[in-house]
């Protein structure tokens, strides 16, 4: 961060606003979009200070600002706001953290889609869906570039071995294909996804619900350090902010909006990952889910999501990429082995079914058993002999032994699975 950037008024105003108001606040977002961050800060401070009563600022918002100024020991004034912003800037510099704002080239513009689902009223969670005011970033790569080709892998903290295994595998394979894996840094699926991506030599982003210097949970500290070195830590909360419960749900909207789509790997019926998928659907992102055993409570949430219209079932990185990638990035379809019936015409297949493995039948017997005419049988059987499926003798026709038929013994006489 150079001195010019430090003195940028937009950056300082956004820093102050992000320190004074919880992320996602629609009232503030609208004001900033209407008159810009500097004027928005001035207006908000004037109302909070009591100098202006007829501004478009609610009591709730101005009350918040007063409370935060008091807690930070700064006056409720423009000067107080500048003090807060300068402190935040110094702190970011000290921590080696970048502050990224919409005016920057590396701003991930995709998160601005949140404006479409931002609304007044509803629960705190529904209300707090406005785009971030600014982001704290620590790690490598420009935020917009890193998120350009990204999917989110999200899911249960109490993941099973299956969920951890699947998350790590998917993340690894996405990373190998140069897709960024975004998650929330939590235990279970999140941590497995970050680790899988790092082990695949790829990019991973942890979007935090606390200050960037307080990644949660503490037990994942070494993982967060590795992400900061090889990937990217992101937060819209100022340093030192605690991981309040409600912040995780507010944070989820950034995971949904910042990526091309979320994949839920394992989730209970009630789960934050499901909320992320819901947000993604509202934003026209591709919601995806990995299925699991229906007897596992940790897959119930995935299956509920897969019963929602529009959620796609995915089992491999290729299938994920097929859903979110550009046209042409198609997943290969798994296929079984090729069997005689695949290469035979209908008549040949019917005849082959009527040929026995150990006893010869005449062409007439085979015709009657297969339900075709004698002429067709006499015409078709030599072709089956030529193809190596059937052996002819003076007593008639029987199946060729397995080693010359290139198929499992007796397969022609057995029903398919």
d(CA 153, CA 174): 10
Q: Which of 14, 26, 247, 279 binds a copy of itself (CB under 8 A)?
A: 247
Q: Which of 75, 310, 373, 401 binds a copy of itself (CB under 8 A)?
A: 373
* Interaction mask 72-111, a copy of itself, x per CB under 8 A: x---------------------------------------
| Distance in Å, CB of 67 to a copy of itself, minimum | 4
| Distance in Å, CB of 346 to a copy of itself, minimum | 3
Q: Please tell me whether residue 238 binds a copy of itself under the rule CB under 8 A.
A: no
CA atoms within 13 A on the CB side of 213: 13
For a copy of itself, the closer of residues 101 and 367 by Cβ is 367
Inter-axis angle of helices 26-49 and 59-72, to 10 degrees?
70
Strand partners, 110: none
| Distance in Å, CB of 6 to a copy of itself, minimum | 25
Q: Which of 33, 91, 127, 226 binds a copy of itself (CB under 8 A)?
A: 127
Q: Which of 5, 67, 221, 330 binds a copy of itself (CB under 8 A)?
A: 67
Judged by DSSP in three states, 98 sits in strand
Q: Please tell me whether residue 214 binds a copy of itself under the rule CB under 8 A.
A: no
Q: Please tell me whether residue 64 binds a copy of itself under the rule CB under 8 A.
A: yes
- Of residues 17 through 46, those in contact with a copy of itself by CB under 8 A are 21-22
| Distance in Å, CB of 373 to a copy of itself, minimum | 1
Q: Please tell me whether residue 264 binds a copy of itself under the rule CB under 8 A.
A: no
The per-residue DSSP string of 228-275 comes to HHHSEEEESSPTT----HHHHHHHHHHHHHHSS-EEE-S--SS-HHHH
Tell me phi and psi for residue 313, to 5 degrees: -80, 130
CB 376 within 8 A of CB 350: no
For a copy of itself, the closer of residues 146 and 181 by Cβ is 181
| Distance in Å, CB of 96 to a copy of itself, minimum | 26
Tell me phi and psi for residue 100, to 5 degrees: -115, 130
Q: Which of 80, 131, 261, 272 binds a copy of itself (CB under 8 A)?
A: 272
Q: Which of 16, 45, 46, 62 binds a copy of itself (CB under 8 A)?
A: 62
Q: Please tell me whether residue 386 binds a copy of itself under the rule CB under 8 A.
A: no
Q: Which of 95, 142, 349, 385 binds a copy of itself (CB under 8 A)?
A: 349
How many residues of this chain bind a copy of itself (CB under 8 A)?
Answer: 93
- DSSP percent split of the chain into helix, strand, coil, nearest 5: 50, 10, 40
**Part of the chain binding a copy of itself (CB under 8 A), chosen from 30-38, 104-112, 134-142, 409-417:** 409-417
Q: Any residues with CB less than 8 A from the CB of 365 and at least 6 apart, and which?
A: 354, 396
d(CA 253, CA 251): 5
For a copy of itself, the closer of residues 105 and 337 by Cβ is 337
Q: Which of 270, 343, 402, 408 binds a copy of itself (CB under 8 A)?
A: 270
Q: Which of 3, 59, 327, 393 binds a copy of itself (CB under 8 A)?
A: 59
d(CA 298, CA 326): 31
Q: Which of 35, 38, 176, 313 binds a copy of itself (CB under 8 A)?
A: 313
CA atoms within 13 A on the CB side of 51: 9
CB 158 within 8 A of CB 57: no
d(CA 217, CA 405): 60
Q: Is the dihedral of CA 349, 355, 356, 357 positive or negative?
A: negative
d(CA 9, CA 3): 12
First-residue to last-residue Cα distance in the chain: 64
- Of residues 317 through 336, those in contact with a copy of itself by CB under 8 A are 319, 333-336
Q: Which of 53, 219, 294, 327 binds a copy of itself (CB under 8 A)?
A: 294
Q: Please tell me whether residue 216 binds a copy of itself under the rule CB under 8 A.
A: yes
Q: Please tell me whether residue 173 binds a copy of itself under the rule CB under 8 A.
A: no
Work out the number of other CB atoms within 10 angstroms of the CB of residue 140.
13
């Amino acid at each position: 961060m150079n001195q010019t950037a430090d003195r940028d008024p937009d950056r300082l105003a956004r820093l102050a606003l992000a320190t004074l108001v919880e992320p996602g606040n629609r009232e503030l977002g609208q004001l900033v979009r209407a008159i810009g961050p500097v004027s928005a800060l001035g207006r908000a401070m004037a109302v909070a200070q009591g100098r202006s009563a007829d501004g478009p600022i609610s009591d709730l918002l101005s009350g918040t600002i007063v409370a935060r100024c008091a807690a930070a020991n700064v006056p409720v004034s423009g000067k107080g706001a500048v003090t807060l912003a300068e402190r935040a800037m110094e702190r970011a510099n000290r921590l080696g953290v970048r502050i990224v704002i919409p005016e920057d080239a590396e701003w991930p513009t995709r998160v601005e889609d949140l404006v479409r689902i931002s609304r007044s009223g509803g629960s705190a969670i529904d209300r707090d869906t406005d785009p971030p005011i600014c982001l704290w970033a620590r790690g490598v790569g420009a935020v917009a570039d890193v998120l350009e080709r990204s999917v989110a892998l999200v899911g249960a903290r109490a993941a099973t071995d299956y969920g951890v295994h699947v998350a790590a595998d998917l993340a690894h394979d996405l990373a190998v294909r140069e897709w960024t894996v975004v998650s929330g840094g939590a235990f279970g699926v999140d941590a497995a996804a970050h680790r899988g991506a790092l082990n695949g030599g790829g990019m991973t982003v942890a979007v935090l619900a606390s200050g960037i210097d307080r990644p949660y949970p503490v037990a994942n500290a070494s993982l967060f350090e590795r992400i900061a070195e090889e990937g990217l830590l992101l937060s819209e909360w100022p340093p030192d902010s605690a991981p309040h419960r409600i912040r995780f749900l507010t944070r989820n909207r950034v995971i949904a909006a910042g990526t091309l789509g979320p994949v839920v790997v394992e989730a209970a019926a009630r789960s934050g990952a499901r909320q992320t998928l819901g947000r993604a659907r509202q934003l026209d992102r591709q919601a995806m889910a990995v299925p699991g055993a229906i007897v596992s409570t940790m897959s119930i949430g995935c299956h509920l999501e897969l019963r929602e219209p529009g959620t796609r079932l995915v089992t491999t990185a290729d299938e994920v990429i097929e859903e979110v990638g550009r046209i042409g990035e198609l997943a290969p379809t798994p296929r079984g082995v090729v069997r005689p019936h695949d290469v035979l015409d209908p008549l040949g297949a019917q005849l082959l079914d009527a040929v026995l493995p150990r006893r010869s039948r005449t062409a007439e017997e085979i015709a009657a058993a297969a339900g075709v005419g004698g002429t067709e049988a006499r015409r078709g059987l030599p072709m089956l002999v030529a193809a190596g499926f059937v052996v002819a003798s003076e007593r008639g026709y029987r199946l060729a032994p397995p080693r010359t038929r290139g198929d499992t013994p007796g397969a022609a006489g057995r029903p398919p699975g």
